[in-house]
Amino acid sequence: MAGEDGGLYTAQERALVARLEADLKAQLAPKPCRLAHSLSVARTAEDLALTYGVDPLWARVAGILHDWDKVVAEDELVARARRLGVEMGVDLGLVRPLLHGIVAARELPARYPELPDEVWHAIAVHTTAAPEMSPLDEVLFVADGIEPLRPPAPGIEKTRALVGAAPLDDVFWSSFVGGIVYVLEEGRYLYPGSIDIYNALAAGRARTR
């Protein structure tokens, strides 16, 4: 595993990763499966970053922290999002599962001011994606969808097969579209903003072809 490679990071960077992992273990102690998922996303994001020329440290860090607020009750998350003035274009009660990344990205910088904005942006958009996705945003989004603890499903297997064989934009696209298809097939509420994000991303892909 890349993370075991002592040469990848400086001693200071390794200490940062260890401190954030220890903090996450305390934060997610009531949810061991979510803790295992988060650490797995972090490793997967780090590997993807190394494959695609993205900063592995910030990928690892974003993975560690991305589900920090998954221990917060959804009603409490809605209340916090309202206090923070989060605007989703619909009642926040309809988009509860999307709020944990956005709230964490607004609140955690006060706890970790040493982390760069790009990490918080990746965490903010890990549930919804965004019309403009940076490579780090894409790495975290994909890692969240394909980390090895996720049971195999056709959409996930399709995305996993693209890693290393296709450009990062295409791997992300597969993961993003697979997520929307999943919502449709399950008959779940589709966040209307997802349609706008889909159209913006599709137009961007059409322009670059």
* Residues forming the site for Fe ion (CB under 5 A): 67, 144
Nearer to Fe ion, 46 or 67 (CB): 67
Are the CB atoms for 69 and 104 separated by under 8 Å?
Answer: yes
Nearer CB in complex with Fe ion: 105/162: 105
Structure tokens at 45: 């994001």
Residue with structure tokens 């056709």? 154
CB of 100 to Fe ion, least distance (A): 6
For 184, the enclosing helix (H) or strand (E) is helix 168-185
CB of 70 to Fe ion, least distance (A): 6
Looking at beta carbons only, is 28 or 57 nearer to Fe ion? 28
Q: What b-and-e string marks burial along 164-201, b requiring 16 or more CB atoms within 10 Å of the CB?
A: eeeebbebbbbbbbbbbeeeeeeeeeebebbeebbeeb
Residue placing its CB nearer to Fe ion in the complex, 109 or 204? 109
